[in-house]
Structure 1
Amino acid sequence: MSREDFKKLTLQSKIQKLYLDGTFVVAIRYYTHKVNLYLLGNDYVEVFYNHKQDRIDKIDFLNREHTRMKFYLDQIHINVEC
């Protein structure tokens, strides 16, 4: 599945795709969210879970230029040049 096709999926379909085909990598805390990082094919996908409201606010591909990367790089090795 291409990135464009994944982005077009509903939130529920994205969750199902990650559950069936993704591999959980690591979880971090980021402000009001618990962010779960998944590997889906060759792409990393972040799931932003708002524990206070008990809901997923966003599912999107990892932005490797975001300052949040420092939290992941402390725990795992991600090639930031991709």
Structure 2
Amino acid sequence: MSREDFKNLPLHKKIHLLYTEGTFVVAIRYYAHKVNLYLLDNEYIEVFYNHKLDKIEKIDFLNLHHTRMKFYLDQIQLSL
């Protein structure tokens, strides 16, 4: 599946795909979110869960240039 195909899926289908075909890597706390990182088809994908609202607010590909990377670098191995 291409990145564009994944991005165009509705949220519930992204969730299903990640939970059934993805591999959970690590969870971090980031402001109001618990962010679960998954590996799917050699792509890292973040799932932003707001525990106060009890809902997943966003699912997106890991931005390698975001400051959140410092929380992941000891947990994942990137081939750039």
TM-score band (shorter)? over 0.9
- CA distance in 1 between counterparts of 2:12 and 2:32 reads 21
Gaps of 5+ in 1: none
- CA distance in 2 between counterparts of 1:80 and 1:69 reads 14
Instruction: Determine if the alignment matches structure 1 residue 34 to structure 2 residue 34.
Output: yes
Q: Which runs of 4+ in 1 moved over 6 A?
A: none
Q: Alignment length, in residue pairs?
A: 80
Calculate the aligned-residue CA RMSD, in Å.
Answer: 1.0
- CA distance in 2 between counterparts of 1:80 and 1:52 reads 35
CA contact (8 A) 1:47 1:60 kept: yes
TM-score by length of 1: 0.93
Provide, for residues 29-67 of structure 1, a one-character-per-residue CA deviation record: whole Å limited to 9, x for no partner.
000000000000110000000000000000000001000
Gaps of 5+ in 2: none
How far did residue 77 of structure 1 move? 3.1
* Sequence identity (%): 71
Alignment of 1:61-72 (within 5 A): 61-72=61-72
CA contact (8 A) 1:11 1:59 kept: yes
